[in-house]
A and B are shown apart, each in its own frame.
Chain A
Amino acid sequence: MTSKLSGVLAAAAAENRAALIGYLPAGFPTVDGGIRAVNALLEGGCDIVEVGLPHSDPVLDGPTIQTADDIALRGGVRIKDVLRTVQEVSGAHPEAAVLVMTYWNPVDRYGTARFAADLAAAGGAGVILPDLPVEESEAWRAAAAEHGLDTVFVVAPSSRDKRLAEVTAAGSGFVYAAAVMGVTGSRAQVGELAEDLVARTRAATDLPVCVGLGVSTAAQAAQVAGFADGVIVGSAFVQRILDADGDERLALAAVRELAADLAEGVRRR
């Protein structure tokens, strides 16, 4: 059976375009405000959303997402709020695939089987767990598979070809190709390493390959759409909400507008 996530990516490919994947942490700036913001990503033109489960120790995130995670955690966001975000967003947008992106310890602590069951029940399509390498992921993948969830693994410019084969064989849905060596955050240029990494990844797998880290503008989205199956944008959306400084109407409008710009970009390949 084709998963929800695979179906959304196939539909974008059928339109001869890259998919647009947007990220925002749950609970940012509040739980309900965060739900409206994630909905705005989809209203603006994202095909897939990653709902972040904020963590106290976001070692792979740059200052922008660290700030958002801080705000969410200080606001008291809990795992049940993240699951409610997934439920409300997938309820409002049954056509979209809703993923959860987080670090491993919150899932581990919540319970592997319990998290997989509750995420599936909330309408979630899968997870991205960037600090859970393939070697440590067996129990999670078994639980995810039982509940029809995809597990998206990250590959990096430093991944050797043999490693790419191992990682992509374990994953499903798509492969997340990190455009640069570094943490999340907008960059002036998408790394030259990205195109090479996508080509090497394609040699290892038939899964769609989506590129993230550093993409923030429609022009960058168009560039990446030229060689990848999907474009992932996170910090740029977070920054729009931070810039609105508590004015929710302004924040939602800015998020919708950026999503629309990027959606135009991924169709320009």
Chain B
Amino acid sequence: MSENLTGPQVPDARGYFGAYGGRFIPEALVAAVEQVADEYEKAKHDPAFTAELDLLLKDYTGRPSPLTDVHRFSAEAGGARVLLKREDLNHTGSHKINNVLGQALLTRRMGKTRIIAETGAGQHGVATATACALFGFDCTIYMGEVDTERQALNVARMRMLGAEVVAVKSGSRTLKDAINEAFRDWVANVDNTHYLFGTVAGPHPFPAMVRDFHRVIGVEARAQVIERTGKLPDAVVACVGGGSNAIGIFHEFIPDAGVRLIGCEAAGEGVDTARHAATLTKGEPGVLHGARSYVLQDEDGQTIESHSISAGLDYPGIGPEHAWLKDTGRAEYRPVTDDEAMLALRLLSRTEGIIPAIESAHALAGALVLGRELGPDATLLVNLSGRGDKDMHTAAQYFGLYDTAAAAQGETR
């Protein structure tokens, strides 16, 4: 599996994917970020490191994750054959564990004893808390206060695993501000602390390193699809917030020019409203959280607060490699609204008995539209990046699934 760590040679030595990426960090973090880059360079060529990671991915995570044909769902997608890459079946319930185990091994290599991380939906936080329990690291997770409320189950899971969860009350009180607070912690505690960044954004080497740890998704899926269908899929579909699960499944397919790569970003209440998180559709190039990429920003370079029903996609930035894939035309990015995602969540639940995360439901909604465009001869590979248990409170409120108003603890739609 770890041959995935040495893939195509982008970014360049300074961390640029075309015009995007780089390293916009304070001087206090330069030494630490260089250490991460140097140590990762060594680790990925070290057979002992890759062997240990492979063993963890197999025996702890449960890789390879299955590929599931979803026939009843496919009927709703214009009859196109839909294949789900089941990252929801990984230990901890999402793709996030792939990157976390890699960086946890790296943390031990660097001799650090404490890990901090940001989380939106809580999936990266849970995966990080899990690895910290496994490796015996101290663990602090920063999570926006809004997200601690809508993803309360994941807060409890992290605390059960021994992590400290800090509810961030500044700014929009969501993922962006959790990242800000994690950077502040890192600057002050960089001697003993690794910032286990959870997506393919941030300063170099994080976009490339996190991608490499997730490339396993696409490497497995490409072989599985060919074995199952005898050919490549017509399109690969994934949701994009920061973009980690999407880059993970896209990457192995980039040289396959006939395979369309389609990222579904969160359009919230609509891209023509002020409440969305469609960074590639509506953003412009700028620098946020250490890298140049597309950013939702005003004309003074102030970040605009994003909105999505999905905490994991509620982010006004995007990984720089996605910005590059967009500009080069190799990947397409489409907006998916809250409502479209929630309907796709219910549809998969009721046609296949699989409750997806709201994040992943954005990809499913994208596949429904794409399948109707391409028709019954098409094969779509969809990354089911996470499971939906954590989202039951949001879904119950959205669909009115609670018996009483009291149980709903809030407004029912």
Shortest CB-to-CB span from B280 to chain A, Å, is 17
Tell me which residues across on chain B come within 8 A of A109, comparing CB atoms.
286, 297, 299-301
Bound complex: CA A57 to CA B190 (Å):
20
Q: Which of A56, A153, A154 contacts B171 (CB 8 A)?
A: A56
Query: In the complex, are the beta carbons of A156 and B27 less than 8 A apart?
Result: yes
Known: A57-B288, A70-B170, A79-B300. 13 other contacts (CB 8 A): A57-B176, A59-B184, A73-B302, A105-B287, A105-B301, A109-B286, A110-B300, A131-B26, A156-B26, A160-B31, A178-B27, A181-B188, A182-B28
* B394 at interface by CB-CB < 8 Å: no
- A128-183 interface (Cβ within 8 A of B): 130-133, 135-136, 153-160, 163, 167, 178, 180-183
Given contacts A56-B302, A158-B31, contact A132 B286 (CB under 8 A): no
* A260 at interface by CB-CB < 8 Å: no
Listed residue (A59, A104, A182) with the most chain B CB atoms within 10 angstroms of its CB: A59
Query: In the complex, are the beta carbons of A183 and B27 less than 8 A apart?
Result: no
Bound complex: CA A233 to CA B289 (Å):
26
Closest to A53 in B: B300
Tell me which residues across on chain B come within 8 A of A131, comparing CB atoms.
24-26, 287, 290
Bound complex: CA A155 to CA B184 (Å):
17
Query: Number of contacting residues on A, CB 8 A?
Result: 40
Q: Which of B14, B183, B290 contacts A135 (CB 8 A)?
A: B14
Query: In the complex, are the beta carbons of A110 and B22 less than 8 A apart?
Result: no
Query: In the complex, are the beta carbons of A136 and B300 less than 8 A apart?
Result: no
* B344 at interface by CB-CB < 8 Å: no
Query: Number of contacting residues on B, CB 8 A?
Result: 35
Closest to A157 in B: B28
Closest to B28 in A: A156
Tell me which residues across on chain A come within 8 A of B289, comparing CB atoms.
57, 59
Bound complex: CA A15 to CA B30 (Å):
36
Given contacts A56-B171, A136-B24, contact A158 B32 (CB under 8 A): yes
Closest to A153 in B: B27
A selection of 22 A-B contacts at a CB cut-off of 8 Å is A56-B302, A57-B303, A59-B289, A73-B302, A78-B300, A104-B287, A105-B288, A106-B301, A108-B286, A110-B301, A131-B287, A133-B24, A153-B27, A156-B28, A158-B29, A158-B30, A158-B31, A159-B30, A160-B31, A178-B27, A180-B188, A183-B188
Tell me which residues across on chain A come within 8 A of B23, comparing CB atoms.
133, 135-136
- As a 0/1 sequence over residues 80 to 99 of chain B, the CB contacts with chain A under 8 angstroms (1 = contact) are 00000000000000000000
Q: Which of A59, A62, A132, A157 contacts B183 (CB 8 A)?
A: A59
Shortest CB-to-CB span from B279 to chain A, Å, is 14
* A269 at interface by CB-CB < 8 Å: no
Tell me which residues across on chain A come within 8 A of B189, comparing CB atoms.
181
Given contacts A57-B180, A57-B288, A136-B24, contact A107 B31 (CB under 8 A): no
Closest to B33 in A: A133
* A13 at interface by CB-CB < 8 Å: no
Shortest CB-to-CB span from B263 to chain A, Å, is 23
Shortest CB-to-CB span from B99 to chain A, Å, is 22
Bound complex: CA A167 to CA B27 (Å):
9
Closest to B191 in A: A181
